[in-house]
């Protein structure tokens, strides 16, 4: 029986008076993919940041990769790949310099940097400052950064934003479903694309104003139910 990679019970998080998340519960098995839908401001990004240990939950219980958050967040550091709205890269550094910096923070060797640069198809521009690259190219580098340590959990906030279909295909070995059953890759993905999201999902979570408005297995969820969240 597969163990749970992410367990959330009654999660609440507020910013001042505003409730960003309220009573959210999730149970996600190792190797499974949860796709989170919801209109802007629904709480998707906040949920990912709580799961990454970047925000403290204000109520409820959160366990990620066996570590209770926020008390034992240190136990999951380096095992979570995170792609947020910002690429978490320095504009003045080149993709190679950025990835080498992150590799050192992750305890990963430079050979892995070259490997992921190749995997995202950016070797030819790896020596140019990040600020001179297009958004799509920067997003590829962000994916390479998140996948550097080959983490067992990926938290991806619109990971395919600014990417062309060929690039989306190219990045699948890094952030797609793991092809190696011995190294299952659990994923929580925020998306606004019902068809694309459903194709990747094992389960679907719909958020509206910080509350769970839809929760179902992907196989029994229709695109129209997701579209309904945005109305």
Which residue has tokens 């978490």?
A: 88
Residue placing its CB nearer to other proteins in the complex, 90 or 164:
90
Of the residues 18, 59, 61, 91, which one makes contact with other proteins according to CB under 8 A = 91
Residue placing its CB nearer to other proteins in the complex, 152 or 159:
152
Q: Residue 82: CB partners within 8 Å, gap ≥ 6?
A: 48, 52, 54, 88, 146, 154, 155, 156
95-154 residues in contact with other proteins (CB under 8 A) are 97, 101-102, 104-107, 129, 145, 149, 152
Q: Is 16 in the site for other proteins (CB under 8 A)?
A: no
Burial of 17 (0-12, 13-18, 19+ CB in 10 A): exposed
The number of angstroms, rounded, from the C-alpha of 219 to the middle of its chain's C-alpha atoms is 21
27-56 residues in contact with other proteins (CB under 8 A) are 27-34, 52-56
Ramachandran angles phi, psi of 46, nearest 5°: -60, -40
β-strand partners of 189: 35, 156
Site residues, other proteins (CB under 8 A): 1-2, 4, 8-9, 24-34, 52-56, 65-67, 74-80, 82, 84, 86-93, 97, 101-102, 104-107, 129, 145, 149, 152, 181-184, 201-205, 212-213, 215-217
């Amino acid at each position: 029986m597969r163990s749970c990679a992410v367990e959330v019970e009654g999660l609440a998080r507020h910013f001042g008076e505003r409730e960003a998340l309220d009573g959210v519960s999730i149970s996600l098995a190792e190797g499974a993919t949860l796709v989170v839908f919801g209109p802007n401001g629904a709480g998707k990004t906040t949920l990912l940041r709580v799961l990454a240990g970047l925000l403290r939950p204000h109520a409820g219980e959160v366990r990620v990769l066996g570590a209770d958050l926020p008390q034992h967040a240190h136990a999951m550091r380096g095992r979570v790949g995170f792609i947020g709205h910002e690429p978490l890269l320095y504009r003045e550094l080149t993709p190679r310099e950025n990835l080498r910096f992150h590799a050192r923070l992750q305890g990963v060797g430079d050979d892995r940097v070259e490997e992921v640069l190749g995997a995202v198809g950016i070797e030819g521009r790896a020596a140019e400052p990040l600020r001179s690259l297009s958004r799509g190219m920067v997003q590829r580098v962000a994916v390479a950064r998140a996948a550097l340590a080959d983490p067992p959990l990926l938290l991806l906030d619109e990971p395919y934003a600014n990417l062309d279909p060929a690039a989306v295909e190219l990045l699948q070995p890094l952030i797609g479903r793991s092809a190696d059953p011995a190294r299952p890759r659990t994923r929580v993905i925020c998306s606004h694309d019902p068809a694309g999201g459903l194709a990747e999902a094992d389960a679907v979570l719909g958020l509206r104003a910080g509350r769970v408005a839809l929760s179902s297995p992907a196989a029994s969820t229709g695109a129209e139910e997701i579209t309904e969240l945005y109305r």
